[in-house]
Amino acid sequence: MLDLGGSDVIVAYDFRRYSAAAARFVRAARARGARLVLVTDAWESPLAAEAEVLIRLPREAAGPIAPLAHEIAVTELLLVATAARLAPAGRLADLDALAQTL
């Protein structure tokens, strides 16, 4: 947290029964200049107004437990897109090869 600044981006997940701890973390990071990508539900987290990128996901569930398929898919897409921008192509090829062996 101490090293966060304007060149940093945080990704926060905040769903219904919105977390006060998540809100405190996000606000502290934003106060240090970090940018926010927020993944939230259709009812929209109170943190939505602070996000530079807002990803709203459906949260329909047949019972009391909502499935996590949407959250997992979005997380994977964010990771792949970020890795492609940050890592040299050779490193990604090495990671793919390692994943295949595991």
Terminal-to-terminal C-alpha distance of the chain:
33
- pTM of the predicted protein model: 0.76
Domain boundaries, the chain: 9-101
Give the class (CATH, top level) of 9-101.
Answer: alpha beta
Instruction: List pLDDT tens digits, range 23-35.
Output: 999 999 999 999 9
- pLDDT tens-digit profile of 7-66? 999 999 999 889 999 999 999 999 999 999 999 998 889 999 999 999 999 877 777 777
What backbone phi and psi angles, to 5 degrees, belong to 2?
-65, -30
Q: Let me know: does 18 contact 46? Beta carbons within 8 Å.
A: yes
Asked whether the beta carbons of 50 and 27 are under 8 A apart, the reply is: yes
**59 contacts 16 by C-beta, under 8 angstroms:** yes
